[in-house]
Chain A
Amino acid sequence: MKPAPFAWERPASLPALLDRLAEAGGSVKLIAGGQSLGPMLNLRLVEPGLVLDITGVPELREARVEDGTLVLGACVTHADIEDGRVPDTTGGALQRVASAIAYRPVRNRGTVGGSLAHADPAADWVSALTALDAEVEIAGRGRRRRMAVAAFVTGALETALRPGEMLVALRIPPMPTGAAWGYVKHCAKIGEFAHAIAAVRLEPEAGRGRVVIGAVEGPPVLVADARPLFGGRIGPDCAGRFLLSVAHTILREAGLTDPVVRHVHVTVLARAIAQAVPLPAPRVVPEAA
């Protein structure tokens, strides 16, 4: 339960960090809060020759709003979002996701960039940021690029990062006016990796909706146009028109063959939809009249 020996470097600036990342031979792992990599190092599932600590870089520990887009440095922690130390442009959606990640001591060190770059399908940000249509900002030596989170996560623990590149920031667009947010995850024990995640961003007035089914085996299943899930139309009453069969079909096509697993995902999705656009309170009918 002790890591194999590794060298440790903690560059104090982004150019120095990217230089080391490009030049260092052998196996290199980046570490931020270490809440995902730490267990793997301790279990000796990963034995890098060099660990590059990215938390010394000031640029990665900043948050700002640019033309309405929230830009979070990769080293912003879940607790920073939970406690409101970063601006909120999502109507509390980010805060709600952050406050239910693992446990408080983990949230105090675990980072949003680290979680996304680790790309565990059961991690909250992988699904939530896909539903929020967020982008990642990637840097390599002398180059920068952006891509949608939906394209960034390519598989279980696999991302589109190329050698010498790292995730430096997240760009989260503001919650559209009139949008309703629902986020539900299913864990057998609080704080453990989720067995099913559903994140929905529905715009009943605009008739649009974006649905993500996460904690599946690979990258989350994104339904960028969610209208088919509601019989072709999204409105204030859409929770009552949610079509379980369409959700099952989408998941089956995504490779989820086990009907029990699909049932759990579809149930969690139905709850997230009901959370976003609550059904009118049901009429109470006495059990025995």
Chain B
Amino acid sequence: MSAGLAQTPTGRMALPLTVNGRAVHVEAEPRQHLGDVLRDTLTLTGTHLGCEHGVCGACTILLDSEPARACLTFAGACAGASVTTIEGLDSDAITGELRAAFNREHALQCGYCTPGMLVAARDLVLRIPEADERRVRIGLSGNLCRCTGYAGIVRAVLSVIAERRARGLGPELQTDRPLGPVGARCGQGSAVALHPQVAVAAVAAPTGTPDLAGPFEPANRFEQVVALSFPPQAVFGLLADIEAIAACLPGAVLTARPADDTVEGGLQVRIGPIAATFRGRAIIARDEAAMSGHVRGVGRDAGGRSSTEGEIRYRVVPGGTPDTARLILDVGYTLTGPLAQFGRPGLVRDLAGRIAGQFGENLDARLAGRSAPAPAPLNPLRLLLGLVRARVAAWLGRS
């Protein structure tokens, strides 16, 4: 498409940039973020990487003269952009004043946050010359410092603002800035194909079988009620049939039943663009007299990076009208790994609500003698089933 962004045979792209005033042409994969391009390709290691998901602010740089997160700016998104790193601010007057003030006020200790902090502080000084302590603190809230407690940093920034105010200097704003994300050039197309994948290494099997008998204190807990149009006895009876439950639970597959009270299988969940497939095992208990039960399980996602442990206590009670029932689920779970880092309990709760709604409909359909609604034409579960079978085989082979 565009001449400036010819596709290279390796799935990399030619990336023209102006870095600290100098035109450079580097090669990068579209997925590489600007922080890695600057550090690894151009050896500009003054840009620090902390969290790499936009929270810590250590990688803050100037993109077309405006502060932006280098870790959230992919190479594919910023061809042609002008980049200024902390190295490029050596001779910048305001950064010079800030450096002197940071020294004077002991505004750094380990210095890891300082490059990003200086870029953010420079933006504040230029954009909000009337800033008071509160506004400076708000303005720096996107840059984490774990050494100073911010007191020295805030004093340093306020002193530079006060000096500039005393000299009668007003705000400096870019007036000709086009609408849209900084660094992203309008009207320029490009295309970079995916490099043919090298064989993906097999995911290591989870190490050891988690203990499902020990005590468990879930980090999150919620209650979910499913209304059903059949009497409690019929509902509770159906819940004894593990295969039926798995068939009614959207995204669930059952792969093995090594013992009467133990099942193995997987659950595929989707939260917006996130699709995670948890595989693991669960232990089931029932109390016929109380029409209640207990399921306790552990699972790990396909990449083996996120894991979850959970328990569901359920009881079946009469519904509001005769011959109807309510299934009350008390769900407790703990999620660890990247999914937990991103996810918030509310998102899981909303997902659980949707799954429970479908589960209820499917249970009703099954009780009415109808088969549960056919799954979507392209069945990801079939694929999942294959994966889980392989995993179970691996477990059995090891034991």
Contact = CB atoms under 8 A, between A and B. Distances in A.
B350 to A, nearest CB: 4
A8 B272 contact: no
Interface residues of B, number: 78
B339 interface: yes
B41 to A, nearest CB: 14
Contacts of B63: 108-109
Contacts of B52: 1-2, 42
Interface in B170-192: 173, 177-192
A55 B78 CA distance: 10
Given A8-B192, A16-B189, A38-B53, A104 B67 contact: yes
Interface in A85-117: 85-86, 102-106, 108-111
Contact of A51 (B76, B177, B351, B353): B76
Given A12-B2, A102-B142, A103-B57, A61 B180 contact: yes
B167 interface: no
Contact of A41 (B31, B141, B180, B192): B31
Given A29-B273, A44-B338, A109 B194 contact: no
Interface string B77-89: 1000000000000
A243 interface: no
A130 interface: no
Contact of A63 (B29, B179, B272): B179
Contacts of A122: 344, 346
A31 interface: yes
A32 B189 CA distance: 14
Contact of A7 (B30, B57, B180, B341): B30
Interface residues of A, number: 79
A51 B76 CA distance: 9
A77 B180 contact: yes
A235 interface: no
A257 B223 contact: yes
B309 interface: no
A34 B77 contact: yes
Contact of A6 (B185, B194, B223): B194
Contacts of B2: 12
Interface stretch (A138-146, A165-173, A185-193): A185-193
Nearest to A154: B354
Contacts of A48: 273
A13 B137 CA distance: 41
B189 A5 contact: no
A5 B31 contact: yes
A179 interface: no
A7 B188 contact: no
Nearest to B138: A190
Nearest to A111: B181
B373 interface: no
A150 B73 CA distance: 30
A86 B177 CA distance: 12
Given A46-B274, A62-B179, A106-B69, A56 B346 contact: no
A209 interface: no
Interface string A1-25: 1111111111111001000000000
A39 B54 contact: yes
B352 to A, nearest CB: 9
Interface in B333-378: 338-339, 341-342, 344, 346-347, 349-351, 353-354
Interface string B186-222: 1111111111010000000000000000000000001
A198 B32 CA distance: 38
B244 to A, nearest CB: 27
Given A46-B273, A76-B180, A51 B30 contact: yes
A86 B179 CA distance: 8
Nearest to A83: B173
Contacts of A83: 173, 177
A83 B2 CA distance: 32
Contacts of B69: 35, 38, 105-106, 109
Nearest to B345: A217
A61 B179 contact: yes
A76 B341 contact: no
A244 interface: no
Contacts of B54: 35, 38-39, 102, 106
A103 B72 CA distance: 13
Interface stretch (A155-163, A220-228, A269-277): A155-163
A157 B272 contact: yes
B230 interface: no
Contact of A43 (B66, B141, B338): B338
Interface string B125-150: 00100000000011101110000000
A104 B5 CA distance: 29
B33 A42 contact: yes
B60 interface: yes
Contact of A55 (B60, B138, B142, B184): B184
Contacts of B305: 44
A103 B342 CA distance: 18
A216 interface: yes
B13 interface: yes
Contact of A218 (B184, B192, B222, B353): B353
B180 A34 contact: no
B63 to A, nearest CB: 7
Given A44-B338, A51-B74, 16 more contacts: A6-B194, A43-B338, A77-B179, A77-B180, A102-B142, A103-B120, A103-B143, A105-B69, A105-B142, A108-B181, A109-B63, A121-B347, A156-B346, A156-B347, A189-B141, A190-B137
8 cross-chain pairs, A with B, having the tightest CB-CB distances, nearest first: A157-B272, A103-B142, A8-B30, A12-B189, A8-B76, A39-B53, A38-B72, A156-B350
15 contacts: A2-B52, A8-B76, A8-B190, A8-B192, A41-B31, A44-B303, A50-B194, A51-B30, A75-B181, A108-B66, A156-B271, A156-B350, A190-B141, A215-B346, A217-B347
